[in-house]
Amino acid sequence: MTTFAETPFVRARKRNELFAKLVFGAMAALLVTPLLSIVAYLVIQGAPLLSLDFLVSNPSNGMRAGGIWSALLGTIYLVTLSLLIAAPIGVLAAVYLNEYAEDNWFTRVINLAVVNLAGVPSIVHALFGLGAFVLAAGIGRSVLAASLTLSIMTLPVIIASTKEALSSVPRAFREACWNVGATRWQTIRGIVLPNSVSGILTGVILQVSRSAGETAPVMFTGAIFFRPIPEGDPFAYSIFDQCMALSMHLFSVTTQVNGAPPALPYATAVVLLGTVLAVNATAIGLRVYLRSRKKW
Amino acid sequence: MTLPARAAQGGITTRELSLWYGDFQALKSVTLTLQHGLITSLIGPSGCGKTTLLRCFNRVNERYGYVTTRGEIKILDKNIYDEDVSLEELRRLVGMVFQRPNPLPLSVYENVVYGLRIHSPRRDLSKSRLDEAVERSLREVGLWDDLKDRLGARATGLQLEQQQKLCIARLLPMKPEVILMDEPCSALDVEGTRAIEELMWTLRGKYTIVIVTHNMAQARRASDECVFMLLGEIIEHRRTEDLFLHPRDPRTAEYIEGRYG
């Protein structure tokens, strides 16, 4: 006779179900642990030195005391300039590749190059920057050369993320435009870009963390060990100057300076992390805002 | 039902039209005259080329992969495959309505005036001209009373039936000659289907309407003439009544009896 009672086999399956859920949940929880412990560890270790004064004063006493002003400003310069170079080129190239380009050998070569360029280690970009911008182009070691090197490094990723954002706009919208006689540019400007701008911006802004964190590309092309600048002046560097950078500063105070207070590298790391997190938070906020205005 | 006076020109005439997707021949020497002001339905089993034929009339086929075309299509006495034909102008005069309503992610108002905006320099578009176009087009498709207070609402949030009517309204400010409909009711319920069919009847006479449909009952209800296609060829093209009551070709007879398809 059939009833709806639980059979032993059903019980076994339920046990398996519970076990699977626990395993997956545990792995997901595990993901958060390193992030939280790293941040907590850095903040605890760096706490003695962290203050507003630390941000806006130059390093002093052979980098053993003082703040990180010139490194912080240098990083801001490098990141901003590299994005100003890479973002327009990357976004426009991605629009071409996604919206205009036909599938032929030429565009396949470009796409292949973009994918491979994204996989090149940063030290290779650094050497390329040194050879191409510093030496061959004669720019010399400077903010500009370092920013150009960083933009070469971020360009392929910006292209890839922009293409992703563009292709997430439903094809039906494009068809609707073409079928009333809109040109490709009218379609892109009126429909495709307004509806993918959140994804494009997110992709671009996420490259800030990479630019800010990479040491090798800037070390070879424009960042220096120590350079005091007027404290609190946001226009202290010219783009043809060499500058300090947070990533390189962290490397220096950890490995090159004897007798630095133990909190110094941690405090520097907190500032670097904080800058990146602040920019990423802006990106998330911007995306939420633009998503909420999305029209479908 | 009386047929409107047949305009001497207007309508669509194809001659020896063949089309290939790569090596596959999708249309075989299609020669056809579609009367101006009538509703013509294209029927036939899946893959018979009816949608391909429809998409030839505004040449949007050419955006879907590798397509070769031979033969000619005359609209307003002009071969649309001539060198000097601008695709943008062609598509202004030959509008298309799709299976799934595809309003743009803009407001109702902007959807209706989208065509005007892209086809006119900005200085020609006064607010009053746009407003007038919106009211006239929405009235023509019967949406004005429902939407006149919601012109700023986003079009993608409307009911499907309203969306589809809006997609038709979107074509009207451009004063189209031909309206192509690719299974315009297949995403709609019974009420929506009836509303769109009624709308087609009110538009009849002003525009040449070509509708692709899988639904034979719809072809029978909602068209003046009917074209039966099979494997890229025209099998039979007659008045809808005659085609359904007295099919000449045995293949037509078998299809409308539902033996295949």
Q: How many domains is chain A partitioned into structurally?
A: 1
Name the minimum distance, in Å, from the CA of B139 to any CA of chain A: 20
Interchain proximity A180–B174, CB inside 8 Å: yes
pLDDT in tens, B51-91: 999 999 989 888 766 888 999 999 988 899 998 989 889 99
Is A195 a member of any domain? yes
Of A281, A145, A152, the C-alpha closest to A211 is: A152
Q: Which residues of B234-260 are buried (b: 16+ CB within 10 A; e: fewer)?
A: bbbbbebeebbeebeeebbbebbeeee
DSSP 8-state assignment for residue B43? E
Is B3 a member of any domain? no
- Give the H/E segment covering residue B54: helix B50-56
Is B139 a member of any domain? yes
Interchain proximity A180–B106, CB inside 8 Å: no
Name the minimum distance, in Å, from the CA of B222 to any CA of chain A: 24
pLDDT of residue A125: 92
Chain B hits for A100, CB-CB cut-off 8 Å, are none
A177 touching B (Cβ < 8 Å): yes
pLDDT at A25 over 50: yes
Domain membership of residue B117 as a residue range:
12-256
- Give the H/E segment covering residue B11: none
pLDDT at A254 over 80: yes
The stretch A58-76 carries a mean pLDDT of 85
Instruction: Please report which confidence band the pLDDT of residue B10 belongs to, taking 50, 70 and 90 as the band edges.
Output: low
Percentage of residues in chain B with pLDDT exceeding 70? 95
Residues written for chain B = 261
Domain membership of residue A248 as a residue range:
52-293
Q: Tell me, yes or no, if the pTM score tops 0.90.
A: no
Is A240 a member of any domain? yes
pLDDT at A289 over 90: no
Is A19 a member of any domain? no
Is B2 a member of any domain? no
Chain B hits for A296, CB-CB cut-off 8 Å, are 105, 154, 156
Is B7 a member of any domain? no
Name the minimum distance, in Å, from the CA of A118 to any CA of chain B: 29
Instruction: Please report which confidence band the pLDDT of residue A91 belongs to, taking 50, 70 and 90 as the band edges.
Output: very high
Instruction: Residue B18: give its domain's CATH number.
Output: 3.40.50.300
Is A12 a member of any domain? no
Residue of B nearest to A176 (CA): B102
Interchain proximity B118–A190, CB inside 8 Å: yes
Q: How many domains is chain B partitioned into structurally?
A: 1
Is A136 a member of any domain? yes
Instruction: Residue A282: give its domain's CATH number.
Output: 1.10.3720.10
Give the one of B58, B87, B105 whose C-beta lies nearest to A296's C-beta. B105
pLDDT in tens, B141-200: 889 999 989 898 889 889 999 999 999 999 999 999 999 999 999 888 888 899 999 999
Give the one of A180, A183, A294 whose C-beta lies nearest to B114's C-beta. A180
Interchain proximity A172–B98, CB inside 8 Å: yes
Is A45 a member of any domain? no
Give the one of B63, B92, B105 whose C-beta lies nearest to A180's C-beta. B92
Instruction: Please report which confidence band the pLDDT of residue A127 belongs to, taking 50, 70 and 90 as the band edges.
Output: very high
Measured CA to CA, the distance from residue A124 to residue A277 in angstroms comes to 27
Chain B hits for A195, CB-CB cut-off 8 Å, are 105
Average pLDDT value for chain B: 88
Average pLDDT value for chain A: 88
Give the one of B60, B118, B170 whose C-beta lies nearest to A186's C-beta. B118
Is A122 a member of any domain? yes
Is B1 a member of any domain? no
A100 touching B (Cβ < 8 Å): no
